[in-house]
Amino acid sequence: MLLAQITDLHVTAGGEPAYRLVNSAACLSRAVDALLALQPRPDAVLVTGDLAFDGRPEEYAVIAEEFARLPMPVFAVPGNHD
């Protein structure tokens, strides 16, 4: 079984930068693009650490939308922000 792991997403909503530095939603989108481009594709994706920046519902909506693009299962082990 081939696993891919991504960690500490800290996704914000509405394009606001996480820590006033990084558009974490855009970074997640690029990570999903990279996962989709892998050959062979992983059998599953493990997501560890903080998923959302503040734990707001709109942040989880962004995360869910991005993960819905993946054809493989996604398993989350959330961090303390979640």
Q: Mean pLDDT by 10-residue block, N- to C-terminus, for the chain (82 residues)?
A: 96 87 94 98 97 94 97 92 72
pLDDT value at position 66? 98
Q: How far apart are CA 22 and CA 39, in angstroms?
A: 28
- Count of Cβ atoms closer than 10 Å to residue 11 Cβ: 25
User: What integer pLDDT is reported at residue 35 of this predicted model?
Assistant: 98
In this prediction, residue 20 carries a pLDDT of: 84
Q: Are 65 and 46 in contact (CB under 8 A)?
A: no
Neighbours of 70 (CB within 10 A): 16
Instruction: Give me the pLDDT at residue 9, please.
Output: 95
pTM for the predicted model, two decimal places: 0.92
Task: Count Cβ atoms within 10 A of the Cβ of residue 31 and give its class: 0-12 exposed, 13-18 middle, 19 or more buried.
Answer: middle
pLDDT of residue 29: 97
Q: How far apart are CA 64 and CA 12, in angstroms?
A: 13
